[in-house]
Amino acid sequence: MTTPASTKQRLIIIGNGMVGHHLVEQLVEQGALERYQVTVFGEERHLAYDRVHLSEYFSGRDADSLALSTADYYAEHGIELRLNEAVFALDREVNEVVTDQHRYPYDRVVLATGSFPFVPPIPGNDREGCLVYRTLEDLDEIRAAAEKANTGVVVGGGLLGLEAANALRGLNLDTAVVEFAPRLMPMQVDTEGGELLREKIETLGVQVLTDRATQRIEDGDTARHRMVFQDDKILETDLIVFSAGIRPRDELARDCGLDVGERGGVVIDDQCLTSDPQILAIGEVALWNQSIFGLVAPGYQMAKAALSTLMGGETRFQGADMSTKLKLLGVDVGSIGDAHGNQNPGARNFRYLDQIKQEYRKLVVSSDGKQLLGAMLVGDNGYFDTLMQYYDNGLELPEDPASLILPSSEGAPALGPDALPETATICSCHNVTKGDICATIDAGAVDLATVKGDTKASSGCGGCAALLKSVVDHELTARGVEVDQSICEHFAHTRQELYDIVRVEGIKTFGELVEKHGHGLGCDICKPAVASILASCFNEPITDAAHVPLQDTNDTFMANMQKNGTYSVVPRIAGGEITPDKLVVLGQVAQKYGLYSKITGGQRIDLFGARLEDLPDIWGELIEAGFETGHAYGKSLRTVKSCVGSTWCRYGVQDSVGMAIQLENRYKGLRAPHKIKFGVSGCTRECAEAQSKDIGIIATEHGWNLYVCGNGGMRPRHAELFATDLDDEQLYRTIDRFLMFYVRTADRLQRTSVWRENLEGGLDYLKDVILDDSLGLGEELERQMQTVIDNYQCEWADAISDPEKLKRFRSFVNDARPDPDIIMTSERGQLRPA
C-alpha cells in the first residue's frame, strides 16, 4: 500500500552530482519513498554524471554516456527532478528553499552542493581564455578555446590538475603544468615519487614547472597570455586552465546562518546533521571533524549515513580512508593510508626505486614491522590491491615486509580470497565487504553479475573488478557451486574448449559453430574470439563474406580507426629493412593522400588520416610497389624488431636482420588470442630489446638464445630464457610449437605473459611440453603452424581484387561522398585532426 503524498514529509536534495544522486538511489532501494516526497535540484542542465571519468568527454564520450541515470528513473519513482534551477537561499524561518523560479516548502533538506574550483587571486586570472576544469560546461568552453590555441597551461599539479593536463594534451595542445609546491601531487607522493612522476609525464611531452608561484597574467608577445612567476621568469600560452584545488560550495549554509568551518565547509556530525537538525550535508560541501573529503567514496558513505539519519537508523559516518589508485596521463599512482609516514612517530620505511623501468614503491610500517601504516606507488599499481588489504584489515605483515614491493617477490604471501577476513573491504566506493558478498551469495546469488547488481560492488571507479571476481569465484566454489567460465551467454564453453571443437570437427564458420554448440546470434565477445580461432586454425581471409560480420571495426576495414574517424595505414616492413624505392613510394602515397607520417616503435612507418573510401586506392598503390598488410589492426603478429646485427655492427655475432625477416615472413599470417611482438638482437647488447617481447631472440656465437612471454604496455614484463644456442631450424621448430600451444590454450585477449603466469607448473611445465614433448603434441603443433604458413595471403590484396568486398569502403551506404565531419588542420608541416 502506497503512502498518500499528503502525509509524506517533504525532502529536498540540493545538488545532483554523484553524491546527491547516490543518496537518491539509496532512498529508492531502502524504501524511504514511503516516508518522503523527494525533490532534487541541480543547477546544471545535465543529469548527474560520472565526474571520475570526466576527461573521457574529450575522447568521444558525451553527456548521455557519462550520465549515472535517466529522467525516466526519477519519474518512475515519483521523484521531482528540477534541473537548470539553482537554489540561492534557504529560508529557515519558514522552512522554504528559494530559487529564481519559486519557493518550495521543506521538512528536511540535504545539502549536496559539492565544491567549486579554486582560482588563485592572481591579477589577470579573469582574462578571456582563463578557464576552470570542473563541469561539462567547463569542458565545452575549454574545447572551444582550444580550437584557437596552440599551447595550454594548467595551474595546479595535483590530481585534478593532471587530469586537466591530459585533457589539453588530448586536444593537441603543447601542454605545461605549473605547480606551486616543489613536486607534483604533493598530497600523494614524496620527493622521490614526485621526481619519477615528473620524469614520466615529461616523457609524454608535457612540460612540468614546479616551485612556481604565478604573480600576474598579462598580454603575451608570442601567445595570448604571459604568465609572470615570482622569480620574474615567464611562460607564454594561449590557454590557461586553473585546477589548483577545490573549495566547498557552502554559500547557502553561510547565508542562512549554519555553522561553517574557518576555511569553509558546512559543519556536520556523525549523522551528517548540520547545526540545524532539519538540514543535513554530504559530500565535498560537508566538514566532518575538521576534514573535507574530496573523493567520491567518502561521499557515498556520507549518503548512507544521511539515509540512516532520515530513516531513524543507527549508521554513522566515521570518517573515510583517502587511499587512492589513479592513472594520470597513462601513469599509475597509488597512495594508501599514511603514505608519507608523518602521522606515526617511530614508523619504518622501505623504498624500492627502478629508474630504468621508472617504478617507485614505498612502504610505511609500524616500529615492530608487523602492521602496514601506508604505501606509495608510482609507475605500477599492480601491487595496490594486495597492499590495500594488508592496510585495510590490519593483517600481519610477512617477516620481510620489503618482499611485498620487490619485483622478485616470490616469497611474499599471496593474499588470495581465503586469506581475507569477512570485514575486508572489497569495494571502497560502495563500502562493500567480503562479508556483504558472502551474504549475497548465501541469499541466492550464483554469478558475478547478480552480486554486482545486489551490492553495487565495482560499479563506482571499477578498480576492484579483478578482486571482486576472485572473491566471488572463490566463495561460489567453496559452496559447491560450479563457476561458469563460459566465454559468453551464447556458448557454454571456454575459448580453449571452442578451439578444440573447431579443430576436431573441422568447423569453418561461426554459423555452423553456433548452430551445433551454441545458441542465439552471438555478441561482441564471442564473435571476434571465434573469428580469431577460425583464422588460427585455417587462415582463411577475414574478408570472406562468412567472416566479415565477426570482426571488430579495425579488422573489418583492415586498418586502425583513429579518434576523428579516419584510419591508419601500416604496411609490413619485415625486420625493419626497406629499400630506397619503397621509402619513396611511402612518401609519395602520404603526400598524395595527405597522410600524417610517423615511424613506429616497431620499425615501421605509420600513415595516419586515411579516409575510409581512400583505403582501397592507397593499398592498391602500396601493393603494386611490393608492400603487403602489416596486420597492425589484428590480434596477430605485429612486428619483428631487429638491430643491424653482424652485417654492420662490430659487436654483432649473427645476422639479426636476416633472421628477423625470416621470422616475420614465417609468422605474418598467424592470428592469436592477443597481439604478438618479436625482437631479434645480434648480440647481448640487446639493441632490439628482445627481452621485452613475446618472442625474443638474442644471438650467441653458437646460435640463438630464445626468450618467451615478455611484453611492454601497461604492465611490462621481462621475457624468460627458454632455450639456448639453437640453430636456425631448432629455433623455427621451437617457436612453431610455442606459438601454437599458446594459441590452443590461452584465454581470449590473453597476452603471452599473462598466459604464462596462469600456467600450472609455470616455465618448467612449458619447457617439458615444448622442448621435451611431454604431451606428444610436438609434431601436431608443427603441422598446425605449417597449415597457417601455407595458407597465408595478404588480406588487402585479396580485398582490392574483389568488387563485392570493396563495397564496404564508403562512409555512407547510400552515398559515395566522403564524411564531411572529418576536419584536419596543419601542425609541424603535417596534417592532424582539427
CA distance 54 to 66: 8
- Note the pLDDT tens digit of each residue in 204-228: 889 999 999 999 999 999 999 999 9
Nine-digit cell at 225? 597570455
Cα–Cα distance for residue pair 561/610, rounded to 1 Å: 9
For residue 432, the model assigns a pLDDT of 85
Q: Which of 346-355, 455-464, 573-582 has the lowest mean pLDDT?
A: 455-464
**Mean per-residue pLDDT for 424-447?**
83
Closest CA to 670 of 556, 539, 783: 539
| Prediction pTM value | 0.57
DSSP class of residue 261 equals: -
Query: 673-702 burial by CB neighbour count: b if 16+ within 10 A, else e?
Result: bbbbbbbbbbbeeebbbbbbbbbbbbbeee
At 728, the pLDDT band (50, 70, 90 cuts) reads: very high
Which pLDDT belongs to residue 468? 80
Supply the DSSP symbol for 713.
S
CA gap 412, 400 in Å, rounded: 8
Nearest to 785 by CA among 652, 668, 624, 617: 668
| Phi, psi dihedrals of residue 582, rounded to the nearest 5° | -70, -35
* pLDDT at 17 exceeding the cut of 60: yes
Report how far residue 744's alpha carbon sits from residue 756's, in angstroms, rounded to the nearest whole number: 13
- Give me the mean pLDDT over the 26-53 stretch: 91
Q: Do residues 190 and 376 touch, judged by C-beta distance below 8 A?
A: yes
Closest Cα partner for 533 from 489, 505, 503? 503
Q: What mean pLDDT is reported for the chain?
A: 88
In this structure, what DSSP letter does residue 6 have? G
Q: Say whether pLDDT at 384 is over 80.
A: yes
- Spatial CA neighbour of 559 closest among 547, 568, 549, 550: 568
pLDDT of residue 413: 45
What does DSSP say about strands 432-433 and 425-427: parallel, antiparallel, or unpaired?
Answer: antiparallel
Question: Is residue 353 classed as helix, strand or coil in its secondary structure?
Answer: strand
- Residue 463 pLDDT grade (very low, low, confident, very high; cuts 50, 70, 90): low
410 pLDDT exceeds 70? no
CA dist., res. 41 & res. 84, Å (int): 8
Burial class (CB in 10 A: 0-12, 13-18, 19+), 342: exposed
Q: In what order do the strands lie in the sheet with 151-155?
A: 130-132, 239-242, 151-155, 174-178, 207-209
Residue 294 has pLDDT above 50, yes or no: yes
Q: Which of 254-258, 475-479, 526-530, 741-745 has the lowest mean pLDDT?
A: 475-479
Residue 1's pLDDT band, with cuts at 50, 70 and 90, is: very low
The cell 640463438 sits on which residue?
A: 704
pLDDT (average), residues 310-336: 84
Question: Of 285, 243, 244, 251, whose CA–CA distance to 268 is shortest?
Answer: 285
Strand stretches in 320-370, DSSP E: 324-328, 331-337, 348-354, 359-365
What DSSP state is assigned to residue 660? H
The pLDDT of residue 455 is above 90: no
Tell which wins on pLDDT, 13 or 426.
13
Q: Which three cell numbers stand for residue 608?
A: 595516419
- 41-65: pLDDT as tens digits: 999 999 999 887 787 777 667 788 8
Based on the number of CB atoms within 10 Å of its own CB, is 366 exposed (0-12), middle (13-18) or buried (19 or more)?
Answer: middle
Residue 81: HSE in the Cβ half-sphere, 13 Å Cα cutoff: 21
Distance CA 603, CA 739 (A): 22
pLDDT confidence of residue 26: 92
DSSP string, 398-462: PSSGGGGTSTT-TTSPP--GGGS-TT-EEETTTTEEHHHHHHHHHTT--SHHHHHHHH-TTSSS-
Task: Reply yes or no on whether the pLDDT at 713 is more than 80.
Answer: no
Q: pLDDT value at position 819?
A: 62
Q: Is the pLDDT of residue 707 over 90?
A: yes
What's residue 399's pLDDT? 86
Q: What is the pLDDT, as a whole number, of residue 406?
A: 86
Nearest C-alpha neighbor of 120 from the set 130, 129, 111, 134: 130
Asked whether 266 and 286 are in contact (CB, 8 A), the reply is: yes
Burial of 435 (0-12, 13-18, 19+ CB in 10 A): middle
Domains of the chain: 5-116+248-310 (3.50.50.60), 130-244 (3.50.50.60), 495-551 (no CATH), 560-790 (3.30.413.10)
Q: What does the alpha-carbon distance between residue 706 and residue 732 come to, in Å, rounded to a whole number?
A: 10
Q: What is the pLDDT of residues 664-702, one digit of tens each?
A: 999 998 999 999 999 999 998 899 999 999 999 999 999
Residue with cell 630489446: 689
> If you ran DSSP here, which 8-state letter would residue 736 be given?
H
CA distance 400 to 402: 5
Side-chain half-sphere of 251: how many Cα atoms within 13 Å? 8
How far apart CA 618 and CA 568 sit, in angstroms, is 11
Model pLDDT, residue 811: 60
Cell of 362: 614505498
Give per-residue pLDDT as tens, 153-173. Answer: 999 998 888 888 988 988 889
Q: Which long-range contacts (CB under 8 A, 24 or more apart) does 23-32 make?
A: 23/110, 23/112, 23/282, 23/303, 23/306, 23/307, 24/69, 24/74, 24/79, 25/69, 26/303, 26/304, 26/307, 27/79, 27/307, 27/310, 28/77, 28/79, 30/307, 30/311, 32/307, 32/310, 32/311
List Cβ neighbours of 664 (8 Å cut-off, separation of 6 or more).
572, 574, 575, 637, 639, 640, 678
Q: Strand locations in 436-587, DSSP E?
A: 560-561, 567-569
Burial of 380 (C-beta count, 10 Å sphere; 0-12/13-18/19+): buried
Mean local confidence (pLDDT), 248-277:
95
Mean pLDDT of 190-206: 89
Range from 413-422, 738-747, 751-760, 823-832 that averages highest in pLDDT: 738-747
pLDDT above 50: residue 437: yes
- Provide the phi-psi class of 333: left if phi over 0, else alpha when psi is between -120 and 50, else beta: beta
Q: Cα separation of 218 and 225, whole Å?
A: 6
Q: Does the pLDDT of residue 412 top 60, yes or no? A: no
Q: Worst-scoring range by mean pLDDT, 40-44, 241-245, 252-256, 758-762?
A: 758-762
Residue 712: the pLDDT is 76
Positive or negative, the Cα torsion across 732, 733, 736, 739?
A: negative
Q: What is the pLDDT of residue 716?
A: 74
**What percent of the chain has pLDDT above 90?**
51
- Joined together, the cell numbers standing for residue 238 give 594561449
Beta bridge pairs of residue 273: 280
Q: Could you tell me if 678 and 672 are in contact, meaning their C-beta atoms sit under 8 angstroms apart?
A: no
